[in-house]
Structure 1
Amino acid sequence: MRKIKIFIFKILKIVGVFNLTLFLTRKKLRIFCYHGLSYEDEHLFIPSLFIAQDTFLRRMKILKKYNINVLKLNDAHEKNIRAEINKPSAVLTFDDGFISTFELALPILEEYSYDSTIYITSYYQKYQNPIFRLAVRYFFWKKKPTRELVKKLDLPVKNHKMWEIIKYGETELKENERQELLEKIRITFGVEISKNLESKFMKLDTNKNILEAYKNGVDIQLHTHRHRLPIEREQCEKEILENKAYLKELLGVELDHFCYPSGIWSPEHLPILKDLGVKTATTCDPALINPSTDPLAYPRFLDSDEKTDIEFEADLCGITHILVVLKELVGINTKTTTY
């Protein structure tokens, strides 16, 4: 089915439909979502989360080819609510704050003079440890261990499945214990991390580099403290307020743009965010934005190594948006989540 869709996209591009829809949707805003770039094999591990450097560079060339106006997030929001977007415009956002975003993506963006927003989740950034669930998933992906090998970990979990181990670590262990468990899994499975990747493996960047990027014009914004957003008001507020306080201490400013962890959101979140002074909140629902779009549910197109260039162009030119609208008319869910 996907091959057929890609083939149709190529035909539509050849006959000029991509350029036509780009023109027809020129007053709508596009927001693109990225996570980390790949140093080695991360884009093969979770291609929906990590994108190869060459792929990301091609995407930026495509934006340039279509003469897309890349805007700062707040500027784009203000122009959108005033209906002042009159030519194809986009915002580039990065979730979490991976080291590779700062080290690999920002130099490419600087080369093209493109602005960007990086949403920082502060817990793992603060501790400078590998993100537990991603590291566990990587070790299981890398070695595909047998059930007998997993049992050698001697953990109090029922079926010794990967997600049970992740749940156990996240709910029953303290941070230092989780990191000890990670090392135990790595050694037991026999996973080797290269010297190049060791200090950057599944980690978010340092305060120093985030502050330096901010001073150089990179927009830093909110993404919760522990990469979760409960529905319950008190816990929801706690996640955002801790994130706000941490980044205010680092940057010296109040931040007011937000990104839902993993793109998961609910209408019940909206009044809470509004009360906390959040101006925009981005999802991972693929659609274009117009002045009537709720700023606390701004959609984004998730770009990744899973997508071909022609699929990216379909997002950019409005083809995907049209398909989403048609799917919603017939009741097909188009929501996307990451990790």
Structure 2
Amino acid sequence: MNFKIFILSLGRAVGLFALSRHLTASRVRILAYHGVWLGEGHFGNFLYMDARKFQRRMALLSKWGYPVIPLTQAIESHEKGKLPKTATVITIDDGWYSTYVHMLPTLLAYRYPATIYLTTYYCLNQVPVIDVALEYCFHQIDPVRCPEIYISDFGFGPLATGTDQEKAIALAAAVETMAGLHGDAMRQLFLQSVCKEADVDYEKLSTERWFHLMNADEVQDAAEKGITVELHTHHHRITHNDQDCLEQELVLNSGCIEEVTGRIPVHFCYPSGRFSQKIWPNLNDAGVISATTTELGLVNGQSAIYALPRLLDGQNISELEFEAEMCGFMELIRQARRFLGFPRRERH
């Protein structure tokens, strides 16, 4: 048992979890998820969760009595002070195919409303999300079998892959090479070459859609079943080549979502959670009502509407840690840390 788990166990045993829930009852809990891992073993922490763990999380929300409400209701009612105690919102980023296959049935089973922040380029273009697939490939490289990577057709390498640091350097170089290629066809050919070097089955990950987003029909079906689809940019970015591209990204993103769902999206999630107050006027001009981040925390009366904190859940978050976040115990700890001058934390 590590020190953190010991402290949390002690805190729960002496009633601090129950006290924290009472003290933070007026604050909104916005949970943040991404997808479910479809491949062998496990990959990712905050990006992909095991399907059974997600089912268990939803069961715990029900068991512990946290009222799950739509994001729109949370935003509107919070401003008026008319929320149920410990109001909880479920948000899911990106719109992964695995979200549709595994998360949607679980949400429907519990009748939980949820918001999917959809990034639309890979929704319309049904190929593996290449930067994430590349990360998986380098994660899978056996340094004994493949101490270096070299793809002559693309002028890539040779680069050492014997250590985690070397893999990270090689991955960054692969992402840079990929960015310089024109069109999905060439980028997927590059991914196939990397898969071959890493001994990863490209056909399997592509056919089983490990790194695919939902297609338009699946997004439409989710929306028809009560899931709200909101903004996450078209290409999962707000800058390109060091230039601001937020306005164009929102226009493309909103247009695609409106065409598929029949409604205009008005809530936004920053790609990768990073944001600047400088773009808030742009969000307002685009008709965006709220924006969420990856800053850890509960929403209170002082939370900026374009910088709403969330509780980012992940594969490596224990049930006790999840309970500590939901009851507000960790929020009070963070509040004490900020009072003492420690910086705010994020999860990525």
TMscore range, shorter length? over 0.9
1:249 alignment partner, one of 236, 255, 259: 259
Distance 1:233 1:327 in 2: 35
Distance 1:152 1:159 in 2: 7
The residue matched to 2:306 in structure 1 has which SS?
Answer: helix
Q: CA offset at residue 250 of structure 1?
A: 1.4
Note the alpha carbon deviations across 1:275-326, whole angstroms, 9 max, x for none.
1110010001111112332111111011000200111111101112112222
Q: Does residue 108 of the first structure (1) align with residue 106 of the second (2)?
A: yes
The residue matched to 1:254 in structure 2 has which SS?
Answer: coil
Note the alpha carbon deviations across 1:93-122, whole angstroms, 9 max, x for none.
100000111110111111111111101001
Contact 1:33 1:93 in 2 (8 A): yes
The residue matched to 1:94 in structure 2 has which SS?
Answer: strand
Distance 2:15 2:245 in 1: 50
Match of 1:219 in 2: 228
Letter in 2 for 1:200: R
Report the identity percentage. 30
Query: CA separation of 1:333/1:168 partners in 2, compared to 1, >3 Å: closer, same or farther?
Result: farther
Contact 1:82 1:291 in 2 (8 A): no
Contact 1:149 1:189 in 2 (8 A): no
Q: CA offset at residue 192 of structure 1?
A: 2.5
Distance 1:194 1:67 in 2: 44
- How many residues were matched structurally? 336
Distance 1:229 1:332 in 2: 28
Distance 2:22 2:293 in 1: 25
Contact 1:118 1:219 in 2 (8 A): yes
Query: CA separation of 1:205/1:145 partners in 2, compared to 1, >3 Å: closer, same or farther?
Result: farther
Match of 2:335 in 1: 325
Q: Does residue 76 of the first structure (1) align with residue 74 of the second (2)?
A: yes
Higher alpha-carbon deviation: 131-140 or 151-160: 151-160
Counterparts of 1:41-60 in structure 2 under 5 Å?
Answer: 41=40, 44-60=42-58
Contact 1:83 1:291 in 2 (8 A): no
Match of 2:119 in 1: 121
Match of 1:27 in 2: 26
Note the alpha carbon deviations across 1:239-288, whole angstroms, 9 max, x for none.
11110111111122211001011111111121111111100100011111
Match of 1:8 in 2: 7
Q: Does residue 166 of the first structure (1) align with residue 193 of the second (2)?
A: no
Distance 1:47 1:179 in 2: 25
Q: CA offset at residue 173 of structure 1?
A: 3.4
2:237 alignment partner, one of 228, 248, 260: 228
Contact 1:286 1:320 in 2 (8 A): no
Query: CA separation of 1:7/1:269 partners in 2, compared to 1, >3 Å: closer, same or farther?
Result: same
Query: CA separation of 1:184/1:197 partners in 2, compared to 1, >3 Å: closer, same or farther?
Result: closer
| TM-score, length-scaled by structure 1 | 0.92
Note the alpha carbon deviations across 1:58-104, whole angstroms, 9 max, x for none.
21122112200000010111111111124111000100000111110
- Name structure 1 gaps, 5 residues minimum: none
Q: CA offset at residue 193 of structure 1?
A: 5.6
Distance 1:59 1:300 in 2: 16
Match of 2:211 in 1: 202
The residue matched to 1:284 in structure 2 has which SS?
Answer: strand
Q: Does residue 190 of the first structure (1) align with residue 199 of the second (2)?
A: yes
Higher alpha-carbon deviation: 288-297 or 252-261: 288-297
| TM-score, length-scaled by structure 2 | 0.90
Distance 1:133 1:195 in 2: 17
Match of 1:39 in 2: 38
Distance 1:198 1:326 in 2: 49
The residue matched to 1:283 in structure 2 has which SS?
Answer: strand
Counterparts of 1:311-322 in structure 2 under 5 Å?
Answer: 311-322=321-332
The residue matched to 1:191 in structure 2 has which SS?
Answer: coil
Distance 1:208 1:145 in 2: 41
Q: CA offset at residue 171 of structure 1?
A: 3.8
Distance 1:307 1:192 in 2: 29
Match of 2:165 in 1: none
Distance 1:59 1:317 in 2: 14
Q: Does residue 137 of the first structure (1) align with residue 135 of the second (2)?
A: yes
Higher alpha-carbon deviation: 184-193 or 214-223: 184-193
Note the alpha carbon deviations across 1:6-30, whole angstroms, 9 max, x for none.
1111111122211111111111100
Q: CA offset at residue 233 of structure 1?
A: 8.1
Contact 2:21 2:327 in 1 (8 A): yes
Query: CA separation of 1:197/1:20 partners in 2, compared to 1, >3 Å: closer, same or farther?
Result: farther
Distance 1:271 1:233 in 2: 17
Letter in 2 for 1:215: E
Q: CA offset at residue 234 of structure 1?
A: 5.2
The residue matched to 2:104 in structure 1 has which SS?
Answer: helix
Distance 1:238 1:332 in 2: 37
The residue matched to 2:173 in structure 1 has which SS?
Answer: helix
Query: CA separation of 1:214/1:327 partners in 2, compared to 1, >3 Å: closer, same or farther?
Result: same
Q: Does residue 265 of the first structure (1) align with residue 270 of the second (2)?
A: no
Match of 2:87 in 1: 89
